[in-house]
Chain A
Amino acid sequence: GAVVSQHPSRVICKSGTSVKIECRSLDFQATTMFWYRQFPKKSLMLMATSNEGSKATYEQGVEKDKFLINHASLTLSTLTVTSAHPEDSSFYICSARVGSSGRVYQETQYFGPGTRLLVL
């Protein structure tokens, strides 16, 4: 199946600093990428949807100035957590969508392994 990578897998930073997380589709081009956030023992929550070359669409309650998303190419999307605070500590996971190829949308969404962010 299609492979999605994330870098870094784990990051610890000081409060007030910014952190960039990369999401790459390794063997396919992804016109759409998604960013999720997961708190311990909670579900994956969609933060935003990004399409290559256009602005990301953020879910209600997600601060777009806080979580900057750039989808500069068909294989790379980045999430920057600006001025991170301890409450931003979470597990961030991206996914990328392959072209439909006759299959329904959700089945062609491939997830990265996630990035664990700890803000001290």
Chain B
Amino acid sequence: DQQVKQNSPSLSVQEGRISILNCDYTNSMFDYFLWYKKYPAEGPTFLISISSIKDKNEDGRFTVFLNKSAKHLSLHIVPSQPGDSAVYFCAAATDSWGKLQFGAGTQVVVTP
């Protein structure tokens, strides 16, 4: 039973534009959310996170938004750059020390 879902397997966006990646979850006990980025032949690397006490966290070009009532979070990348082309995984945990539950990932392609 997949508790974290990324319903868009792929996303194509033009360089300079905004990339919006979406993630939905079903477990209301999830309290901590993370985004990972993965290049081919490399492992996922931590990108940004948010705890449930916040609804927004920003780090440079990356912003994560959390809507707890909708059990939905999103990652915004502005402006998108060619180096952002990668697979992005959404993950969630019941607390900052809990096991990670991953989504299936979204392949982002940034075109010139």
Contact = CB atoms under 8 A, between A and B. Distances in A.
Interface in A21-67: 36, 41-46, 49
Given A42-B104, A106-B32, A106-B34, A95 B43 contact: yes
B: interface residue count bin:
20 to 34
Contact of A105 (B4, B43, B97): B97
B44 A111 contact: yes
A50 to B, nearest CB: 13
A113 B41 contact: yes
Given A45-B102, A104-B49, A109-B46, 16 more contacts: A41-B9, A43-B101, A43-B102, A43-B104, A93-B43, A93-B44, A104-B96, A105-B96, A105-B98, A106-B34, A106-B91, A106-B96, A107-B46, A109-B100, A113-B43, A114-B43
